[in-house]
Structures are given as C-alpha cells and as structure tokens.
C-alpha cells in the first residue's frame, strides 16, 4: 500500500507556499494541462474581438460592415460557452491528478488528467449545467443585495448632506461609507465563492454525483471565505504581475516609436497583442489557483472531518473505511451509504472514489446482509478462529474490534442451555 502523505491543518500561507512549490516542481505538466482550454479560449477571444473591433471601426469611419466580421463575432461568441466547459473539465481532471499526486505520489501528467475528466465526463457536464443555474440564482441575489446597499448608501449620503457638516467631515464620512460598502460586497462574493469552490474536487476525488456535491460543497466550504479570498487575491496579483511584466516593455517601445495613438489602441492589432499577453499570464497563473484550492480542500477535510485520523486508521488497519457523520436539519447522519444508492464503492486505501468498483445488486445485497443486526445473546470471550461479521476477516482472540475494517465486534455469543438438555 502506498505511503500516505502526512496531513495536518495548514494556514493560508502554508497552502499557497505548498501550491507554489508543487507548481515549480511540475511546471511543464501543469502548463501543458491548462493549455488546452487556454488555447481554445484564446482562439475564441481572437475571433470575437476581431469581429467586434471591425464593427466598431466600420461604425466610426462610416464604412461598410463586412460579412467576415459578423461571422468572426458569432463564432467567437459561440466559443465562449465551450471554453468555459473545457475549463471546468480541466479543473476537475487536474484536481483529481493533483490529489493522487499529493496523497499517493503519482506523477502529474496530461494523460492522467484527460483520462480522469473523460471517465467522469457526464458528471462534469451535469455539474456545468447546475453551476449555470446556481450562478444565475446567485447573480440575482447578489444584484438584489447590491441594489439594497446602493439605496442605503444614497439615503445615508442624503442625510449627511442635509446635516450641512464641514466639507472635510463629509468627505471623510463618504470615504468610510464607500469602503464599508466595498468591504461588504467583497465579503459577500467570498462567501459565495467558498460555497462552490470545492465542487470539482468533491465530484472527482470523492466520486459524488453533481447534485449531491452541491450540498457537501456548501458544508465543506463554510467558514473558508477569508482563505478563499486570500487565494483569489494572491492568484490575481500573480496574473497581474505577469501581465505587467509582458506589457510594460511593449508599451514603452510603442511610446518611444510614436505608435501609442488612439487609432492604434482601437485597431485589431492591439486587441490581438493584449489578448495574447493576457492569456499567457492566465496560462501561467491558473495552475497555482487549481493546486491551491485542491490543497485547501484536503485541509478543510482535516479540520472538519478528521481526515488525517481516517488515513492513520487505514494505514494501521488496511481496508478500513469510515465516513464521518455530518450535522443536518434532521440530526446527524452519514453523507452517503451503500444502501442509499451510491454509484461506487470506496476501494482505494485513501478513499479517493470515482473509479472504484461499481455496486451491483449482488454486492448491495451482500452489504445489506453484512450490516443486519444480530440477535442479542449472552456474550462470552472471543475465541480463535472467529470471523468479523462485516468483512469476514479472522479476529484476534480477545479483540474488541476488527484489525482489518475497524468495526467494533461483539464477543463470541454463548448459547444458554436449558437444565437437563
């Protein structure tokens, strides 16, 4: 059995530091994986912005709109949804590959990532559709909150104006109010992002369906808003720094050559240059984003579900499988179970599901028989040769639990004999 990676609670800085180190060690593989959706998005963006700038130039110069511009604009617009799906599939496949690398030391390769995404393609497609519906709903809620904040801000601004305060006091209060509104919007956005950021990891690593993954992602991401915000802020500044490093020398050269005019910046040539540099910066920063959130996923499981103790139990007793109970409105219950229609059985020693043995009706019946309650009887000492009722392994004499599956076992039952029998 593979040696487990030692898991421990990590701070946000540790998560980012380990993600950067893993990114440096596997730079070529990670860039090759994320290059697939990036190149497709680059082509779609080129077509869309070429058609858009051509139409804009034709409108400002009173020239005739060409059919080529319309076709390029339409193809670019249609390519954006496909690009988003490819990006989600890449994030899902890479999350699984990174999880295997972190936990079992398997190499990160393009082939493994594509294979992982292909095997769960149907669930990824359903997840994409659910995300679209979920994001539409969240957008409506977010818009309502923004409108409410704007109305409250307007009322407070009117009150401060009517009070006829000194100008410096009014400006200071306006600045404080604007910062408070901005902080509230950032807090709300981070809360929303924390609830959905673990969806690819749950679908790919735990083998959950897209529907059940939403509820689990909401529970697992609760309380992680500041850590998600810190990772998003870090990756944003990494991308911005890369873009600035690429763009500033070019802009300086254009300025010295006398080409920094409004006509140039409105031309398709500038659109191609800017989109190219922007996508290069995104290509180089996207792997850090994916690896960081995969590490944060494992850290959340350690903090909320004692995942490190579960791995330790599996290392001590190979084959042990335990799933922690979670709190629901109806009490404490396990997230999934064999008898609730789970599509896959956990066969990996790490609990990395999704590619496990499919549960057939025969296997489901065996599991149901294994968990049936036994009749109460007077207990006696466990003798040599007795087997576990759950996994069938031989029990050690005097053992109170199975050394293979970890199931607590009842001592050997001793049947009472009637007098004279």
Q: Are residues 19 and 80 in the same domain?
A: yes
Q: Are residues 320 and 222 in the same domain?
A: no
Residue 359 pLDDT > 70, yes or no? no
pLDDT, average across residues 56-78 = 74
Evaluate whether residue 3 is within a structural domain: no
Q: Are residues 246 and 195 in the same domain?
A: yes
373-390: pLDDT as tens digits = 444 444 445 556 677 777
Evaluate whether residue 6 is within a structural domain: no
Q: Are residues 97 and 199 in the same domain?
A: yes
- Residue 299 to residues 9, 224, 227, Cα–Cα distance (Å): 6, 11, 11
Evaluate whether residue 259 is within a structural domain: yes
* Res. 27 pLDDT band, cuts 50 70 90: very high
User: Which region, left, alpha or beta, applies to residue 255 given φ > 0 means left and ψ of -120 to 50 means alpha?
Assistant: alpha
Evaluate whether residue 1 is within a structural domain: no
Q: Are residues 149 and 166 in the same domain?
A: yes
pLDDT score recorded for residue 30:
92
Q: Are residues 191 and 265 in the same domain?
A: yes
Q: How far apart are CA 383 and CA 186, in angstroms?
A: 63
91-149: pLDDT as tens digits = 999 999 998 888 778 889 999 999 999 988 888 999 899 888 888 887 888 788 878 87
Q: Can you tell me whether residue 344 is helix, strand or coil? A: strand
* Res. 400 pLDDT band, cuts 50 70 90: low
User: Where does a domain end: 253, 276, 305?
Assistant: 305
SS (H, E, C) 173-236: HHHHHHHHHHHHHHHHHHHHHHHHCCHHHHHHHCCCCHHHHHHHHHHHCCCCHHHHHHHHHHHH
Residue predicted with more confidence, 19 or 71: 19
Q: Are residues 178 and 201 in the same domain?
A: yes
181-211: pLDDT as tens digits = 888 888 888 888 888 889 999 998 888 888 8
Q: What pTM was estimated for this model as a whole? A: 0.68
285-299: pLDDT as tens digits = 999 999 999 999 988
pLDDT score recorded for residue 43:
87
Q: Do the Cβ atoms of 294 and 98 come closer than 8 Å?
A: yes
Q: Are residues 269 and 321 in the same domain?
A: no
The total of structural domains in the chain comes to: 3
User: Where does a domain end: 372, 395, 412?
Assistant: 372
Evaluate whether residue 397 is within a structural domain: yes
Residue predicted with more confidence, 410 or 16: 16
Closest among 45, 43, 50, 48 to 268, alpha carbons compared: 50
Evaluate whether residue 318 is within a structural domain: yes
Residue predicted with more confidence, 345 or 8: 8
> Which residue range forms the structural domain that includes residue 319?
306-372
Residue 418 pLDDT > 60, yes or no? no
Residue predicted with more confidence, 56 or 327: 56
Strands (E), 278-356: 326-328, 331-333, 344-345
Q: Are residues 287 and 338 in the same domain?
A: no
Residue 49 pLDDT > 50, yes or no? yes
362-373: pLDDT as tens digits = 545 544 554 444
User: Where does a domain end: 305, 323, 339?
Assistant: 305
Q: How far apart are CA 403 and CA 380, in angstroms?
A: 19
Evaluate whether residue 91 is within a structural domain: yes
146-171: pLDDT as tens digits = 788 778 877 877 777 777 777 777 78
Q: Are residues 219 and 348 in the same domain?
A: no
Q: Do the Cβ atoms of 198 and 293 come closer than 8 Å?
A: yes
Residue 227 pLDDT > 60, yes or no? yes
pLDDT, average across residues 22-34 = 92
Q: Do the Cβ atoms of 346 and 361 come closer than 8 Å?
A: no
Q: Are residues 390 and 241 in the same domain?
A: no
pLDDT, average across residues 257-263 = 77
pLDDT score recorded for residue 9:
77
Residue predicted with more confidence, 238 or 258: 238
Evaluate whether residue 124 is within a structural domain: yes
Q: Are residues 106 and 223 in the same domain?
A: yes
pLDDT score recorded for residue 60:
65
Residue 273 pLDDT > 70, yes or no? yes
pLDDT, average across residues 262-268 = 73
* Res. 313 pLDDT band, cuts 50 70 90: low
């Amino acid at each position: 059995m593979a040696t487990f990676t030692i898991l421990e609670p990590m701070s946000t800085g540790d998560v980012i530091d380990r993600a950067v180190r893993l990114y440096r060690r596997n730079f070529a593989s990670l860039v090759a994986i994320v290059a697939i959706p990036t190149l497709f998005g680059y082509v779609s963006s080129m077509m869309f912005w070429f058609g858009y700038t051509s139409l804009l130039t034709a409108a400002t110069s009173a020239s005739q709109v060409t059919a080529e511009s319309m076709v390029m604009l339409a193809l670019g617009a249609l390519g954006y949804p496909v690009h988003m799906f490819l990006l989600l599939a890449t994030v899902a496949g890479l999350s699984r590959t990174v999880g295997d690398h972190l936990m079992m030391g398997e190499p990160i390769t393009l082939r493994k990532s594509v294979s992982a995404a292909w095997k769960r393609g149907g669930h990824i497609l359903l997840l994409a559709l659910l995300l679209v519906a979920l994001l539409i709903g969240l957008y409506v809620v977010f818009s309502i909150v923004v409108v409410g904040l704007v109305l409250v801000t307007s009322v407070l601004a009117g009150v401060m104006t009517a009070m006829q305060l000194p100008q410096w006091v009014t400006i200071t209060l306006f600045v404080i109010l604007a910062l408070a509104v901005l902080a509230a919007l950032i807090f709300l956005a981070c809360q929303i992002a924390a609830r959905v950021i673990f969806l690819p990891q749950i679908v790919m690593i735990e083998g959950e369906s897209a529907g059940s993954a939403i509820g689990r992602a909401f529970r697992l991401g609760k309380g992680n808003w500041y850590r998600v915000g810190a990772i998003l802020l870090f990756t944003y500044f990494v991308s911005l720094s890369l873009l600035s490093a690429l763009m500033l020398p070019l802009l300086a050269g254009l300025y010295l050559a006398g080409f920094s005019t409004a006509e140039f910046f409105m031309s398709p040539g500038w659109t191609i240059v800017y989109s190219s540099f922007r996508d290069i910066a995104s290509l180089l920063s996207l792997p850090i984003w994916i690896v960081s959130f995969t590490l944060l996923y494992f850290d959340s499981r350690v903090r909320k579900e004692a995942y490190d103790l579960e791995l330790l139990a599996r290392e001590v007793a190979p084959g042990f499988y335990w799933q922690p109970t979670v709190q629901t409105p109806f009490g404490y219950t396990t997230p999934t179970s064999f008898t609730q229609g789970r599509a896959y059985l956990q066969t990996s020693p790490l609990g990395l599901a999704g590619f496990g043995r499919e549960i057939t009706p025969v296997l489901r019946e065996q599991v149901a028989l294994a968990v049936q309650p036994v009749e109460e009887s007077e207990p006696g000492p466990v003798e040599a040769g007795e087997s576990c009722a759950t996994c069938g392994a031989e029990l050690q004499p005097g053992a109170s639990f199975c050394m293979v599956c970890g199931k607590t076992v009842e001592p050997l039952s001793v049947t009472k004999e009637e007098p004279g029998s």
